Structure 1
């Protein structure tokens, strides 16, 4: 493009009379958040750019690409012109320099397809309000709802339109070294803290000693590489270290509990565990299944949309990087937020309001998954005030992999190819940032750790990569995630060596230093090892799919990681020291002292109101507002959806997907998570999480004897001995549970620094463990849903109900904790799972629902309103352990229980299948619209299905479908 290119702003707006949905949504959100709103609000979408050919070409770009002539008016302003409109004030939201702008990238690409030459594109939005609107009202609206200061800036009534993207200045080359050899303890700690390295004193001393032996100080890029490699995020130092727990030494909790169970079980369906980017298990004669769940917590706290979106993008790349590349066929998401109705004055300084975090996180996962064309099929949401400053975002991916594409390798002489997105400053220090606790200045200090993703870029990358896989054009692959190229190349070359020319890496813009290029976590990138004879073919293939691909070096046999910048060597590290030089430390763990309280008994006249209150409890209430934003039909394989029943209002226990079209083979996926139990007993919480994940997978048809599980720990700072003690208890329970159910762990992840520091006070999240279960179905026709199917059927309860209420929703409703979490009978529970599965496989069950939060009464209510079928339940008829009172029989959350609907003529056959486990006939379905709860002959509650549904639907009704603002 010649220097005479026109700097222009192109702005679109709805034609007069058009419904401004975005403005209406913002006004609704503002009112819900208690913010003052202007009398009216309008939005303008804008693009600033430089375009060859001047004004006529800019008009053509607006007409052909940026505006819909039916819906929009547009205007083109030359650079420097005022955008003001009579009678209106203007608040512009503009991305900061260097922040990823996917819309701008799309404009450049689409303009080229039209034969238009544009560059320096920036997308932005302008919100217009009446000229009488005060400054503070507009700025508050901008700060609280419209913009995030981490990635965007506000321009109030600007004198000139937004300029095109600025050309960032070049950094110039200067090789930096870090004076470690002569540094004392305080200086070493200052170097780590100032550089966001997340290395402790012992680790810094080990690095300093290593370089003393080499007779030199490390370069800046060498120190950064070690920090990424040794981060808690990448190295799992706590779980693989030494822990002294109440005088007993545990050496490598990961190996001695979670991995130990898998290796002792030696299940025949496990194909790859703990060695690749995801776990791999058998599926059918031609295919394997991969599964991985990742956390993206800290970035989502700072920039919820970008953090959650790149969390989903990252776990999808884990799938693409497993074996020689699996194709993603399903996604899952589990979130933990603060209450979205939390008063604003209770939000810690430096944190976003939970409502805004939730809306941003959901939007980020939605946009990434939907645009990639991958169904989001299941998940869960938990609410607790302790997640306000530390939200948790778990993103899961299930992929399908040809059996002959599992094995991969890297050989000396292979070329190092980076493909996908270009590299920018986004995500700098992401791996080390996630290894630190958040604080009230994280928004400013660590803003560079936030990544912004581009799902369309990753979709192109996926298609090109899988085509290259099928042609056999590469030998090894991994994703470019935490730590960027430093992690990807460092891991792939661990047993060989690698030499990298960093100045060859494609950049989004000028000005990056060699270290920034190396550790950037810019998204949508994969690293491949390519045999030299395939170089031309693979580059041509990626070019044909419009996916950038560049050879940046080669793998060697030196055992060293070497990098150059424009001919100058900037790094020369021993692979052995990088991967094995981390000093092991002994951490102290203690048993937590707990203050527990026993809830009172519930009177019969409280049963109905309590049921409605529990249905409306945040952790029980419908998550339809989230679910309905996701595409769970794309690819055509989803069988049991997240919402089921006649009005799609019933919360499905799990999901069932048949990924190979034309085949009856399917899988189910379920989740178990209940942090409230961990406040009382983290060991039993863990067993409940395993039991719940299995119940959810089995309830929709999965086979418990062909089930694999995953662990995802999110914990408070484990430098606190009681937090670490809770983690030890949870790991021990992982081993016991996996062995009892014979369910191997095949993958996992931990996030162990979820604290938030305000001043001198540090607050931890509750101990939170997510268990994901992946189970097989031979025949998709065996899948079952939870909604009642017909009046006149019988209801059977499988499993025993005990008196314990520890961590239960009923205890919370009665302002107590409960004294004891219900035990999980590890001999009985697996038998119950197998018996229920056998009954489902035999076609004896019309509906199946597991009992979890809220117990029997909540499960019966959900089944009834989901199916639009009335029901009667007799609490006196249920199988019990001990002597639970009425409230406990109806609302206790005892483990390993299912409520089954059966046709009368199938009752005998069903009871025969269940003969070896506790079960009882507890009720029947009815041809009315009521749920009746009895205690023997006494009717204790009669509630209309419409009231049950409304209570369940309203709590998270953020769009006002059931309530008005």
Structure 2
């Protein structure tokens, strides 16, 4: 495979060549234009292995690290929004089956939640978007994705350039032994000894130090006191300084580095991953003012060296040279790795069971499943209001407990322009068809933006691949399939990728037995909304309004929640026709911008049945729908397959009767239909293809089933 990333995901960005894409795969975060004056940046990181062995510390430093990525983008961005996506084993996983040395999923879950909430809340950054997935295959290898959106002046959005003679300034927390070999640990297989033997590789976070660091750096940025900035993350100074000086050269005096305690060797100082540290390049005419500003704000800052023009990395300790390497060798000296990738399509038989008599019971069962149920218990522990910019939060509806599709914020308070952030992830399809899993993740992230009233005109994507052992050809082959899907979808949807981060060795070894996580791809999306006053929540608003299904339903339940509830996998995964989907989404966006749509919700896990129930109990209203009116891609003779299909590119939309004609005209030529009405009876009624009633459940009963599993 020759540069598979550059020939797929990065290639899409180059070919699209969007003028609003200011920086892609060049800096610590990707950057897009916001309003001509301001720019937005976005980065999502993983902190998987650390969270497996020390959930609180691993997750808290994961969010702290990605915040510093944004702070180190361009000449410094203000963090304005956080996201988090977690993948765990089931909380009720049997202790009798728990592998030796593995923390129970419920302990990991609670520790990770607390770590992210404590760190982000104390930094004063709202956490507004995310997801939580459960699968037994994540039990030994949980996944923790942390993301941050930043705001910075457009004219400061490009990565800075230092000059020879500029000082190397280390700012923020002091350096200790915590986190040494953290990136090495993150690339190793987990074993039964990792929870005890690798804890020193987990960094120790201090959000108050980072908060002070953020504030003083933004002040220094406004004064123009430094020429370049980056975060001190994986690899510590070795990575931060080594990358900054790649085109110049540098001398670093390691004995000048402020330490938490005595006794560190120069090697430990150089590779420590202690948290809350940034590296800046400061010109000679501003170094003293910079150091004085940091001192006045109570933030440690020290000049530890200077940039040169000799193309060499030179390290000194107590007057003695301890390293002298060519930058060219350091960055280009390693030979390219060659690996073999093979993909053979697996086949899972379609389940063969009769349609259950009571689909209402099936709906309640799915609503109460781990992957569909309410995550309010976790969401409520995050601050959604800090900074005062939130428009649409994670929970919406009459009682603010319905599941929102995407987050919307207004970062500039005297402007109506907004930022919309969403995510897509569909690990269940990965073992069946990784290409369509990736395509589904892209489609989900984009339709969530459309569901809240956004459009695809100015949307950028991020990719985070978390895979098993990619030295195995068949596992790498699945990764290649997924990357190709990302390229294909991005080109047709017109949505460039601007950043990404991969975690490619999520393996657990015990007694010669090796287990892998499911192929997992998180797609995050960020878009610009012209007017946040047009943002739409997903809860039904008014009895008597029409319920539209927008998009075509297929017999696609491979990897679905419905099949999982029956102990099956299936083989017909949801596919994506991006050309048809883009046209449909563009038209729905137009209808929303005209004020014709009063509520909208994308169809994902659990399909039509779950989306209908969620819109109803979020709005405190009922609904009556008719399956015979659902547009089908092919004949489907079973009500359950229509009700729980997870076909992509579909929405439920609430439209007032007086807006029907105009809505129909806009959507003409796409797959859409009126399938029912909102009612004030607080009942969910679904009528079968033959006209009989197959679901009759109270909205309250559905809501209780949805809320019960995680009401801890």
Matched, 1:505 2:244: no
Matched, 1:611 2:360: no
Q: Please point out which of 401, 424, 427 is paired with 2:152.
A: 401
Q: Please point out which of 103, 120, 123 is paired with 1:352.
A: 103
Helix, strand or coil at the partner of 1:705:
coil
For residues 666 and 353 of structure 2, the distance between their equivalents in structure 1, rounded to whole angstroms, comes to 35
For residues 122 and 697 of structure 2, the distance between their equivalents in structure 1, rounded to whole angstroms, comes to 42
Q: Please point out which of 471, 482, 494 is paired with 1:719.
A: 471
Partners of 1:602 and 1:886 within 8 A in 2:
no
1:445 positional shift: 2.9
For residues 510 and 954 of structure 1, the distance between their equivalents in structure 2, rounded to whole angstroms, comes to 52
1:431 positional shift: 1.3
1:646 positional shift: 1.0
Gaps of 5+ in 2: none
Matched, 1:325 2:63: no
For residues 601 and 284 of structure 1, the distance between their equivalents in structure 2, rounded to whole angstroms, comes to 54
Partners of 1:756 and 1:763 within 8 A in 2:
yes
Partners of 1:331 and 1:376 within 8 A in 2:
yes
For residues 581 and 440 of structure 1, the distance between their equivalents in structure 2, rounded to whole angstroms, comes to 35
Helix, strand or coil at the partner of 2:279:
strand
Matched, 1:624 2:367: no
Partners of 1:713 and 1:750 within 8 A in 2:
yes
Q: Deviations over 1:444-475 (max 9, x none)?
A: 33222101101110000000000000000000
1:535 positional shift: 1.3
1:597 positional shift: 2.2
Q: Please point out which of 419, 423, 434 is paired with 1:682.
A: 434
For residues 441 and 662 of structure 2, the distance between their equivalents in structure 1, rounded to whole angstroms, comes to 31
Helix, strand or coil at the partner of 1:382:
strand
Aligned to 1:908: 661
For residues 636 and 670 of structure 1, the distance between their equivalents in structure 2, rounded to whole angstroms, comes to 19
Q: Please point out which of 201, 212, 231 is paired with 1:479.
A: 231
Q: Please point out which of 392, 399, 408 is paired with 1:647.
A: 399
Q: Please point out which of 642, 648, 661 is paired with 1:895.
A: 648
1:628 positional shift: 0.3
Matched, 1:950 2:704: yes
Q: Please point out which of 553, 560, 570 is paired with 2:305.
A: 553
1:593 positional shift: 5.6
Q: Deviations over 1:410-454 (max 9, x none)?
A: 111100000000001110001111111111111233222101101
Of stretches 531-540 and 469-478 in structure 1, the one that deviates more from structure 2 is: 531-540
Helix, strand or coil at the partner of 1:255:
coil
For residues 912 and 600 of structure 1, the distance between their equivalents in structure 2, rounded to whole angstroms, comes to 41
Aligned to 2:217: 465
Partners of 2:345 and 2:432 within 8 A in 1:
no
Partners of 2:555 and 2:572 within 8 A in 1:
no
Aligned to 1:268: 19
Q: Please point out which of 287, 305, 329 is paired with 2:38.
A: 287
Q: How does 1:376-455 map to 2 (within 5 A)?
A: 376-407=127-158, 408-455=160-207
Tell me which of the two structures has the higher relative contact order, counting C-alpha pairs closer than 8 angstroms and 6 or more residues apart: 2
1:833 positional shift: 1.1
Aligned to 1:308: 59
For residues 582 and 109 of structure 2, the distance between their equivalents in structure 1, rounded to whole angstroms, comes to 36
For residues 378 and 729 of structure 1, the distance between their equivalents in structure 2, rounded to whole angstroms, comes to 27
Matched, 1:707 2:473: no
Q: Deviations over 1:368-415 (max 9, x none)?
A: 110000000010011001111111000000000101212311111100
Cα distance 1:602–1:797, how it changes in 2: closer, same or farther (>3 A)? farther
Q: Deviations over 1:242-282 (max 9, x none)?
A: x3xxxxxxx11110000000000111110001000000001
1:602 positional shift: 5.0
For residues 328 and 117 of structure 2, the distance between their equivalents in structure 1, rounded to whole angstroms, comes to 41
Partners of 2:558 and 2:571 within 8 A in 1:
yes
Q: Please point out which of 614, 622, 632 is paired with 1:862.
A: 614
Cα distance 1:686–1:763, how it changes in 2: closer, same or farther (>3 A)? same
Aligned to 2:321: 569
Partners of 2:347 and 2:571 within 8 A in 1:
no
Matched, 1:845 2:588: no
For residues 491 and 354 of structure 2, the distance between their equivalents in structure 1, rounded to whole angstroms, comes to 37
Aligned to 1:757: 509
For residues 827 and 409 of structure 1, the distance between their equivalents in structure 2, rounded to whole angstroms, comes to 41
The number of residue pairs the alignment matches comes to 709
1:595 positional shift: 4.7
Q: Deviations over 1:494-541 (max 9, x none)?
A: 000010000110011111111111100000000000001111100110
For residues 602 and 793 of structure 1, the distance between their equivalents in structure 2, rounded to whole angstroms, comes to 34
For residues 347 and 24 of structure 2, the distance between their equivalents in structure 1, rounded to whole angstroms, comes to 40
For residues 351 and 331 of structure 1, the distance between their equivalents in structure 2, rounded to whole angstroms, comes to 28
For residues 286 and 354 of structure 2, the distance between their equivalents in structure 1, rounded to whole angstroms, comes to 72
Cα distance 1:321–1:386, how it changes in 2: closer, same or farther (>3 A)? same
Mark the structure with the bigger radius of gyration: 1
For residues 883 and 655 of structure 1, the distance between their equivalents in structure 2, rounded to whole angstroms, comes to 37
Q: Deviations over 1:757-786 (max 9, x none)?
A: 112111100000000111111001110000
Partners of 1:410 and 1:529 within 8 A in 2:
yes
For residues 560 and 344 of structure 2, the distance between their equivalents in structure 1, rounded to whole angstroms, comes to 20
1:339 positional shift: 0.6
Of stretches 392-401 and 806-815 in structure 1, the one that deviates more from structure 2 is: 806-815
Q: How does 1:71-90 map to 2 (within 5 A)?
A: none
Aligned to 2:389: 637
Q: Deviations over 1:15-57 (max 9, x none)?
A: xxxxxxxxxxxxxxxxxxxxxxxxxxxxxxxxxxxxxxxxxxx
For residues 600 and 382 of structure 1, the distance between their equivalents in structure 2, rounded to whole angstroms, comes to 27
1:567 positional shift: 0.6
For residues 760 and 707 of structure 1, the distance between their equivalents in structure 2, rounded to whole angstroms, comes to 45
Q: How does 1:527-538 map to 2 (within 5 A)?
A: 527-538=279-290
Q: How does 1:780-791 map to 2 (within 5 A)?
A: 780-791=532-543
Aligned to 2:93: 342
Q: How does 1:686-701 map to 2 (within 5 A)?
A: 686-701=438-453
For residues 755 and 509 of structure 1, the distance between their equivalents in structure 2, rounded to whole angstroms, comes to 35
For residues 132 and 489 of structure 2, the distance between their equivalents in structure 1, rounded to whole angstroms, comes to 23
The Cα RMSD (Å) is: 1.0
What TM-score, normalized to structure 1?
Answer: 0.73
Cα distance 1:336–1:592, how it changes in 2: closer, same or farther (>3 A)? farther
1:916 positional shift: 2.6
Aligned to 1:15: none
Q: How does 1:6-21 map to 2 (within 5 A)?
A: none
Q: Please point out which of 681, 700, 709 is paired with 1:928.
A: 681
Aligned to 2:122: 371
1:606 positional shift: 3.0
For residues 200 and 537 of structure 2, the distance between their equivalents in structure 1, rounded to whole angstroms, comes to 45
Of stretches 587-596 and 367-376 in structure 1, the one that deviates more from structure 2 is: 587-596
For residues 478 and 822 of structure 1, the distance between their equivalents in structure 2, rounded to whole angstroms, comes to 41
For residues 585 and 535 of structure 2, the distance between their equivalents in structure 1, rounded to whole angstroms, comes to 15
1:667 positional shift: 1.2
Partners of 2:53 and 2:196 within 8 A in 1:
no
Aligned to 1:47: none
